[in-house]
Amino acid sequence: MKAVNRLLLLWLCTLVQEWTSCMCEEVSSSPTSVNPCCYYPCQNRGICVRYGLDQYQCDCTRTGYYGENCTIPEFWSRVCEFVKPSPDTIHYILTHFYWIWSLINKTFLRDWLMYKVLTVRADLIPSPPTYNSKYGYLNWESYYNSSYYTRILPPVPLDCPTPMGTKGKMELPEPKLLVEKFLLRREFRPDPQGTNLMFAFFAQHFTHQFFKTHNRMGRGFTRGLGHGVDAGHIYGDNLARQLKLRLHKDGKMKYQMINGEMYPPTVLETNVSMNYHESVPPEKQMAIGQEVFGLLPGLSMYATLWLREHNRVCDILKKEHPTWGDEQLFQTTRLIIIGETIRIVIEDYVQHLSGYQLKLKFDPALLFNSQFQYQNRIALEFNQLYHWHPLMPNSFFIDGTEISYNDFMFNTSILTHYGVEKLVQAFSNQAAGQIGGAQNLPHIVAGVAEGIIKESRQLRLQPFNEYRKRFNLNPYRSFNEFTADKEIARELEELYGDIDAMEFYPGLLVEKTRPGAIFGESMVEMGAPFSLKGLLGNPICSPEYWKPSTFGGHTGFDIVNSATLKRLVCLNTKRCPYVSFHVPPPDYEHKNSGDSHAEL
C-alpha cells in the first residue's frame, strides 16, 4: 500500500511539474499585449482611444457614424452614401462635356459650383490643427506651437508589431531599393495633360514660401513664421532679411540693372546669405527672398518677375498716394502681390492642374456667408505630397541650345544672358514629366526621394490606405488594383507583404494615373483640400481684409482682380512671349505671341 501511495504521489508531482512547465512555456511564448489602435479599428474619422493593455474605444462624435468602430451610418450619412458619386465619376464629369460647361461658366451656377468645390474640399482639413510629430493625441502644444508642421493623422504608435501598424513585414524595404525599382526614370515620359516647365518652376517657386523644414530642429519642424501664402519667398521669411532686401525708398526692393533690365541685387550689395555653390563668385550671386532660389535659373526667373512686379506696383501706388511713405507703400504692395499670387494659383495653376471644364474663380466673397476659418497650418503630409520632381526633364532647351543639369544648376548667367523673355518662351514650350505612374523621377534627385522616404519613417506616417480612407477614398484591396503594371505589383507585394503596409510617398508616385492625367486619384483628392484651404484661409480673403482700401483703393484692388500669369510676365518684359502652363497647341503660330501688351 505504501508503494502504491508513493507511486501515486510521484505521478501527481510529475503531473504538477509538467503542468507548471507547460504554463511557463505558454506565458513565455505568448506575445505581449498589442496596442489595439495599431489595427486602425476606428473608421470614418473616428478617434481610437486605448484603455488598459488591450482595450480601446472609438470616439465617433460628429462623424455621422456610430457603433463600436464608427462603421454604422446615421440617417443622413446613409443618404449621402447612396446619392454621392465616386471621386472618379465627379472628376470625369468635371473634365468632360465641354459644351455644357461652356454654358454653365456663363451663369450663376459657376459661382454656386465654385462655392461647393471650396467648401467640400476645405472641410476635409481640420481647423484648428490637430496633431504634430511629437503627440499622437490632441493637446495644447499641437495647437499653440506653430514651429511644428501639423498632421492630418497621428503617428503610428511606437509599440506596434510592424513599422506600419500590424500589417506587412517586420522591416520595410530599403529606401534606395524603392527609389531604384519604382521611382527612377527609365525614359522621359511627358505629362499627357501638356504641362510644361513654366508650371514646374512655378510649383517649386510658389511652394517654397510655406515648405521650410527646419532640419536642425528635426524633420517635423518648420522654420517659417507663416503657414501659408505670405510672399516670404520674395521678401524673406524674417524681418532682418526683408530689411536687407528693401531699397527703403518709395516702398521698393533693391535691384541691379543688366543690359537695361531689372534683376535681383547681388549678395555683395545686400549682405544677404544665399545657398550657392562655392564656385559662384559673390558678385554673380543674386540676393533673393528664398535662400535656395539661386539653385535653378527657372526659380531666379520667377524671382525676377515678382521683383519687377513689386516695384511696378509701387510706382502705381506712389502716383495714387503721393503722401504715403516708404513703409506704407511697401506693406500695401506686399498685400497686392499676395492677392495676385492667390489669383494666379487658383485661376491659372490649379485650373490647369485639375483639367476641369468648370472655370475656377478666385472670389473670397463666395465664402462670406459660411463658417469658414481664416487660418492655416501647413501639414507634414502636404509637404511630403508636394515633392513633384518627376516634372523635371533630363535636360533643358533654351533658344536652340540643350543645357545639361551640370551647366544649368547655380548658373545665374543663364538668366542674364538669355533674359526673362527667352526663358519664359523656352520653359513654356518644353514639356514637363508626368508625376504619377511610377518610374519617371530624374536620376539627379534620387537622393531627395530617398530622404523623403526616410523622413516619413522617422516621423511614422500611417500607411497609404489609411490616408485614402481619411480623404473619403476606398482603400486599395491589392497591389494589382493599386497599379496597372503587374510586374510592379508583384515586386511591391514581395517587398511590403501587404497593400495595407504601403507607404505614403511611394504610394502617391507609383499609383496608377487617371486616364490622360498628370497623376493618380489620391494626389488630387488629398492635395486639393490642402491647397484650397491654405489659399482661401489667407487673411486677405477674410471679410475684414477683402475690400479696396486694403490694397490702396480701387486701382490696387483692380491689380489683384485682373492678375494672370500672362499679365505677370508681359507687364514686366519688353516683349510678350508665349506664356502658359501648357505647351503650345499643335496649330499654334508663334506670330501670335508677338507684341500683345495692348491686350493686357
Task: Give whole-number Cα distances, 99 to 93, 96, 207, 352, in Å.
Answer: 12, 9, 34, 18
Catalytic residue status for 96: no
Check if the beta carbon of residue 547 is closer than 8 Å to that of residue 335. Answer: no
- Does pLDDT of 18 surpass 80? no
Give per-residue pLDDT as tens, 509-544.
Answer: 999 999 999 999 999 999 999 999 999 999 999 999
The partner residues of 403 in beta bridges, in order of sequence, read 396
Question: Looking at residue 120, what is its pLDDT?
Answer: 92
State the average pLDDT over residues 197-216. Answer: 87
Alpha carbons 217 and 224: distance in angstroms, whole number: 13
DSSP E strands in 207-328: the ranges are 256-258, 261-263
Give per-residue pLDDT as tens, 126-143.
Answer: 989 999 988 989 999 988
Question: Looking at residue 586, what is its pLDDT?
Answer: 83
Give per-residue pLDDT as tens, 382-396.
Answer: 999 999 999 999 999
- Does pLDDT of 591 surpass 80? no
- Does pLDDT of 86 surpass 80? yes
State how beta strands 55-59 and 47-51 pair. antiparallel
Alpha carbons 3 and 190: distance in angstroms, whole number: 92
Q: Is the dihedral of CA 182, 188, 194, 199 positive or negative?
A: positive
The one catalytic residue in 349, 386, 467, 476 is: 386
Catalytic residue status for 135: no
The one catalytic residue in 91, 205, 208, 352 is: 208
Cell for 596?
A: 500683345
State how beta strands 256-258 and 401-403 pair. unpaired
- Does pLDDT of 10 surpass 80? no
State how beta strands 72-73 and 65-66 pair. antiparallel
Three-state secondary-structure class, residue 558? helix
CA triple 12-18-22, angle to 5 deg: 145
Binned at pLDDT 50, 70 and 90, residue 33 comes out as confident
State the average pLDDT over residues 570-589. Answer: 91
Give per-residue pLDDT as tens, 99-125.
Answer: 999 999 999 999 999 999 999 999 999
The pTM assigned to this predicted structure is: 0.90
Q: If we measure between CA atoms, which residue out of 529, 509, 384 comes closest to residue 459?
A: 384
State which H helix or E strand residue 73 sits in. Answer: strand 72-73
- Does pLDDT of 58 surpass 50? yes
State the average pLDDT over residues 154-169. Answer: 95
Q: Is the dihedral of CA 508, 514, 517, 522 positive or negative?
A: negative
